[in-house]
Amino acid sequence: MSKLTRSNYLVPKIASNLSDETIAYINKNIGSPHGITSIVLSMVDKNNIGKYINIQFDTAMAVNMFVDYALSVWKTNKAVKVSVRSYKQNDSFIKEMDEFKFEEKDDPPVSYVDFLKFDAIVDIVSNSDGAKLSYTFKIYRLNEPVPRLINLTL
């Protein structure tokens, strides 16, 4: 993973339905690992039903650093157990990446059985056509009708 510093991570544009206090905190810290941690953990928090955050970056490197760091946070977080279940890139499932092994399913989990070991399940969808790059993290929690979303664009 590349080192995240303010010099290579330009402050992105953010739109969200998170609380004003949370958005102010994110805007203050977005150019740091702490800021990314705040975003990804707030989006899996049990109190943020129906929330989304859209982040527009200036460079592909910044998008990719955010993705790498988000995956690292979800993998190591002990307070909220997160399963990064699937990764679909340009309409094709990725089976593994680094230390992650993914399932080939992106249908919303609906049963409590899906959540026996995890508090949240994340499905990743990415698209790239050269000039455009986007990621969507669909975050599911038990008994929520729609996923929470983190949308990253270039």
Give the residue numbers spanning the domain of 23.
13-153
Return the amino acid letter for 10: L
Cross-strand partners of 88: 93, 125
Output the average pLDDT for the chain. Answer: 87
Residue at 8 is within a domain = no
All residues at 6 or more sequence positions from 79 whose CB lies less than 8 Å from its CB, including other chains: 41
Residue at 4 is within a domain = no
Residue at 3 is within a domain = no
Give the percent of the chain with pLDDT over 90: 49
Residue at 140 is within a domain = yes
CA dihedral 20, 26, 27, 31 (to 10 degrees): 180
pLDDT digits (tens, 9 = 90+) for 22-51: 888 888 887 788 888 889 999 999 889 999
CB atoms within 10 A of CB 16: 20
Residue at 6 is within a domain = no
Residue at 43 is within a domain = yes
As given in the structure block, the two tokens for residue 22 are 């949370």
> Quick one: angle between helices 60-76 and 33-44, nearest 10?
60
Residue at 2 is within a domain = no
Residue at 98 is within a domain = yes
Higher pLDDT, 10 or 145: 145
Rg from Cα positions in the chain = 15
pTM of the model: 0.89
Provide the domain count of the chain.
1
